[in-house]
Amino acid sequence: MQKPNILLIYTGGTIGMIKDADSGALKAFDFDNLLDKIPELRLLDCNIETKSFKSPIDSSNMNPEYWAVIAKIISNQYNTFDGFVVLHGSDTMSYSASALSFMLENLSKPVIFTGSQLPIGDLRTDAKENLITSIQMASLQNKGEPVIKEVCLYFEYKLYRGNRTTKINAEHFEAFDSLNYPHLAESGVHLNVNTEYLLKPNLGKELILRTAMDTNIGILKLFPGISKPIVEAVLRSQLIKGLIIETYGSGNATTESWFVDLLEEAINKGLHIVNVTQCAGGSVAMGQYETSSQLKRIGVISGKDITTEAAVAKLMYLLSKNLETKDFKTTFETPLRGEMT
């Protein structure tokens, strides 16, 4: 059996920094000498090549242009490699993993995002485990085929579907969670893969690269006391084409007539409004309570159990397709990459 070929793509982030043992200063890690710095990688049953951004970026500066760069690298190298590991800053990793899941249509190989909370050269770093196990996960094969065939995120012993994740902690090693979907695999003494939860794409279809993303969107988080002028300013902006409203509980919002009227006016003018719960877990169920039935009546799109991060990526992706209003609503409410139940 031929060893799997894995491409490691370094975009930036804490995982790519190494601490000087003498001065304590952080400097960029040289991924060209990866095997020299982390000899444990030689124990993995795969061939590893690396590719780095010319100028590594902090993930706070991540945007759709960089998403397209990552997606194009994967597309261009798709037939050469059996799996891909993307090293990325943790702050916006869930957004990037969600975006790549939409950009890489008909993906049938693993694309695993990972990073770390501490630099790779730190004494107590989580970087080595995350990196080594991500490569191992991307190398898993069954009868010559990759076991994982989707965009994932690996962090602190667990592999998640990328577009189901949210960063939940800025300090703990367990920085991510997937509150509405089970984790796909877990690393312990053995790698345990929950095969029943993996995406099962149509292997007969060619990979299609979709890098067009429309960024003319916004997020409005509801809170008690939100004022009419603020909502009005957001909804009547001439630039905005799509809006995510983070509502209470299972999709509930104030029943004040001015609020509902403003939403209805905006929808009638062509604004796509998506209802996503501001709770960490759970699902929007419009019509379950009176406080959401009016949103359903006026045509607000149900985000169901999608995360805000995945909703952002999906909204940008679908807006670029210039769909009719009815088709847009139907398509958004339909799972495309396993991002919602």
Give the strand order in the sheet containing 242-247.
217-221, 242-247, 272-277, 301-302
Cα–Cα distances in angstroms (integers) from residue 283 to residues 123, 157, 179, 198, in the given order: 41, 26, 10, 21
CA-wise closest residue to 129 among 177, 193, 173, 195: 173
The rounded distance, in Å, linking the Cα atoms of 117 and 130 is 10
Q: Where are the beta strands (DSSP E) in the chain?
A: 5-10, 17-19, 26-28, 47-52, 83-87, 104-105, 111-114, 141-142, 145-146, 151-155, 158-161, 166-167, 176-177, 185-187, 191-193, 208-209, 217-221, 242-247, 272-277, 301-302
Active-site position among 11, 14, 133, 277:
14
83 alpha-carbon distance from chain centroid: 17
- 114 part of the active site: no
CA-wise closest residue to 332 among 242, 252, 246, 207: 242
Could you give the residue numbers annotated as active site?
Answer: 14
